[in-house]
Structure 1
Amino acid sequence: MSLPNDASEDRMQMMTKTEQFSKLFHEQEDCREVEHMQKIEEMNGLIDEMNKEEFKLVFTKEQFNEIHQMIKKEKITLKNSILLLKHVGYSKKLKCFIEFAFNESLLREKIREMIIDENEKKNDEKDEKHLTDLCKCFTLLNDNKIPDELRLIIVPCLLKAASKKEGNEETQKEAEIALLALSHISQFCLLEKELYLNEIKEIIKNHQDHHNLTRLAYQCAWAFLMHRFVDEKKLEDIIVNDLHFAREAAREIEDLSKSVDWKRKEERRKETKVKEVSVIKRWLDVINEFTFSCTLWNEELAGLISSTVQMIRASRDNYPYTSHQSLSLLRCAAEKRKEKIDDLLKSGAIGAVVEEIQQPTINDDLIKNCYYFFSNISERLKEKKYLKVEEAKRKKTKKKVLEKMEEEGFEDIIESLYGYISFVNENDYGEFSRNASEYLMYL
């Protein structure tokens, strides 16, 4: 005897998300075809709500092997299994869950074989959508380097899917999934420029002109290109002066920041804003890659530094991870980049870093970033290439920095931290002087 609908819904609400998922999954074996889609949608909804531990409990090697067996025995259609797996991979990458269960499963080998088989079909027999979906599933679920025989199939296939210019919601979603998959292809997976460069440039430029991508998709397009930049320095001028990364990144994090209530505790944030915060974190990761690797400078980089300072101050109280990401960027900017020290002054970076040191919840990593930020500025003022500028200009810049440090109370802070840093880890800080002027003076 079946339970009334209300009783059945109450029972489902009492079950954990993992139990609900398991129940719905096994009902796939016996339900009518018309019910399959409804249950897939319910399972995808549960996946959206899962935290890391719940996700790990559900998507084990055994679970993926069971999906493989159900496909093999035709207890679930390939179409429905792809709808489920694509969403599993999307959620996994979006929430940055790192699991290796899929890599060890029979399903991984099955999807790999299906991609190769579909790709080898003649053009008039090939199902492009099916091939694209298989490529999305494999790339989103996979945590290892993509096999060599697949990268030449997967990269062009996903770029083609992301290049569709229709502005409807379905096309935007599929482009977002394709670009999310591409953005997670490891920087250690070497790709020839001929395989991707023209296509990804066109995707980025088309969005700049027509805004046809979602915010996440646009960020992922940049992430894919930036991963390539790590090993392909010839991309530098394209990224800086042709595609204007600094300008675009600054605008994106500023616009996204406006939609987040930074005064609300992170653990109490509205679910509708989870994605915005996630995309901001992704942008900060990409900016960090850029800051570390790029050597060119243009005026747009000053704006990016200003946006980073704003992010530190906005997220400091309730989103500490985001604030610390931003602080790491400033440390890197003071050391690796061609940013002018005047730009660090004008942007408020020095004041923002001093404010970080004064936070009651400061930890060793945060102090280290602050310490190296100021040490890097000091070293920059001593470098031979900096001494090539007019001596009067160099002294003027140094004076501005020292005045700002005095204004912000830097000397008292250095004194107060001296014992703490020496006690925590001398190896991390080297010779740590309590004389603040030594960090910035050069005569």
Structure 2
Amino acid sequence: MDSIIVPCLLKAALRKEESKEVQKEAEMALLALSSIRENKFVEQELYLNDIIEIIEYHQEHRNLTRLAYQSAWQFLTDRFFVDNSLDGEIVSELHFAREVGKELEEFAKCVDWKKEKEEEMEKETKEELVLMRWFNEIFNFLNLNALWKEEFAGLVGGVVQVSRAAKGNNEEISNRCIYPLRNATEKRDVKVEDLLKSGAIDAVLEGMQRPKLNDETLFDCLQFFSTVSMRLEEKKRDEREEEERKATKRKIVL
């Protein structure tokens, strides 16, 4: 079935005519593709070139809706669960971290965070639903990619912007922002300077001060600061060892 369904859906999503009808068809096709879950193996030759073309074309022309673009990424990143050879395409060729960082920055600006009516507060907007889908992908991405790369700082920066925009307006999204920040600190080669520059440390501190804070999110906040503290201790130790090495070298030369 996959050998028939996947190429047909990709063919619909590849259409580049600028019309609402074509855009809607592409969105529905990509949404259907994103429902093919991570435990479902699909042969690379059925999808890889086409999904890369779809994502790259959108990066240049911005032709997809926010939901369609997220769905394209979700289909691709879900394949990574059963085929880790996709790391190069996801990280280096298509720049997942950079792109999602940009998407989050846009969401921080476009979501109607300050809902005035009670019925509005209880109803999720389409933007909020897509944003929550992005957070699922960020969760998977950070867990599956062991090495910290320079572009990841942009992803963290996007999470920070959403965290600040959602503060006091959307508790669920505020809580979801904390885990990827905690996860980032657990990368062995993360730089504390990147966390400071992106505002992650301030964002988590602000998150801890929210009146409605569940136990799980509080644990993530505490774990974040515990890991940052450990990283600072490691940096101090490395600097001390480097100074000792240089001092020993000077003694030998003299």
Q: Distance in 1 between matches of 2:158 and 2:120?
A: 22
CA contact (8 A) 1:226 1:290 kept: yes
Q: Distance in 2 between matches of 1:273 and 1:244?
A: 29
Relative distance call for 1:277 and 1:394 in structure 2 (3 A) is farther
Relative distance call for 1:320 and 1:266 in structure 2 (3 A) is farther
Q: Where does residue 14 of structure 2 map in the other structure?
A: 163
Q: Where does residue 366 of structure 1 map in the other structure?
A: 217
Q: Where does residue 56 of structure 2 map in the other structure?
A: 205
Relative distance call for 1:206 and 1:272 in structure 2 (3 A) is farther
Q: Distance in 2 between matches of 1:266 and 1:325?
A: 23
CA contact (8 A) 2:104 2:161 kept: no
1:238 is matched with which residue: 67, 86, 89? 89
Relative distance call for 1:339 and 1:327 in structure 2 (3 A) is same
CA deviation map 1:2-34 (0-9, x unaligned): xxxxxxxxxxxxxxxxxxxxxxxxxxxxxxxxx
Q: Where does residue 166 of structure 2 map in the other structure?
A: 315
Q: Distance in 2 between matches of 1:361 and 1:270?
A: 16
Q: CA deviation at 1:267?
A: 4.8
Q: Where does residue 109 of structure 2 map in the other structure?
A: 258
- 2:27 pairs with 1:176: yes
- Quote the RMSD (CA, aligned, Å): 2.7
Relative distance call for 1:390 and 1:372 in structure 2 (3 A) is closer
Q: Where does residue 331 of structure 1 map in the other structure?
A: 182
Normalised to the residue count of structure 2, the TM-score between the two structures is: 0.86
Relative distance call for 1:265 and 1:331 in structure 2 (3 A) is farther
CA contact (8 A) 2:77 2:141 kept: yes
Larger radius of gyration: 1
| 3-state secondary structure, aligned to 1:236 | helix
CA deviation map 1:26-54 (0-9, x unaligned): xxxxxxxxxxxxxxxxxxxxxxxxxxxxx
Relative distance call for 1:154 and 1:382 in structure 2 (3 A) is farther
Q: Distance in 1 between matches of 2:17 and 2:241?
A: 53
Q: CA deviation at 1:230?
A: 2.1
Q: Aligned letter for 1:254?
A: E
CA contact (8 A) 1:294 1:337 kept: no
| 3-state secondary structure, aligned to 2:190 | coil
Q: CA deviation at 1:263?
A: 2.4
Q: CA deviation at 1:379?
A: 4.4
**Count of matched residue pairs:** 243
Q: Aligned letter for 1:391?
A: E
Gaps of 5+ in 2: 244-254
Q: Distance in 2 between matches of 1:320 and 1:266?
A: 16
Gaps of 5+ in 1: 1-149, 396-443
Q: Distance in 1 between matches of 2:172 and 2:69?
A: 22
Relative distance call for 1:273 and 1:369 in structure 2 (3 A) is closer
Q: Where does residue 239 of structure 2 map in the other structure?
A: 391
| 3-state secondary structure, aligned to 1:299 | coil
Q: CA deviation at 1:212?
A: 1.6
| 3-state secondary structure, aligned to 2:16 | coil
2:204 is matched with which residue: 327, 342, 353? 353
Q: Where does residue 187 of structure 1 map in the other structure?
A: 38
